[in-house]
Amino acid sequence: MNLRPNYLTRLGDATSQWLNVALLNGDANESISGRAHREGWKTAERIIDWLLRPLGPDHCRTAYEADVARAFDLVKESA
């Protein structure tokens, strides 16, 4: 069962994805946090995790896992 995240979570995801494209020439379906984890940007990951610690531990790893889950959901929907 896939529960839709709340509005603020989706807004944060969209902003991060937009900034990943606009500032880092990244993929439109990947957040900066997820990309930092996937690409092994250890310093960036530590900074992001520290800044977003109120959202929970290991934000970048969690964001990466959410990016992957969204990709799988899109594939399942199109099959």
Residue 1 placed within a domain: no
pTM of the model: 0.83
> 74 or 47, which is more confident?
47
Q: How does DSSP classify residue 5?
A: P
Residue 2 placed within a domain: no
Going by pLDDT thresholds of 50, 70 and 90, the confidence category of residue 24 is very high
pLDDT at residue 5, as a whole number: 73
Residue 21 placed within a domain: yes
Residue 67 placed within a domain: yes
pLDDT at residue 43, as a whole number: 98
How many structural domains is the chain composed of? Answer: 1
Going by pLDDT thresholds of 50, 70 and 90, the confidence category of residue 3 is low
Residue 70 placed within a domain: yes
pLDDT at residue 70, as a whole number: 85
Give the domain range for residue 57: 7-78
The radius of gyration computed from the CA coordinates of the chain, to the nearest angstrom, equals 13
Packed helices 42-51 and 59-78: angle between N→C axes, nearest 10 degrees:
100
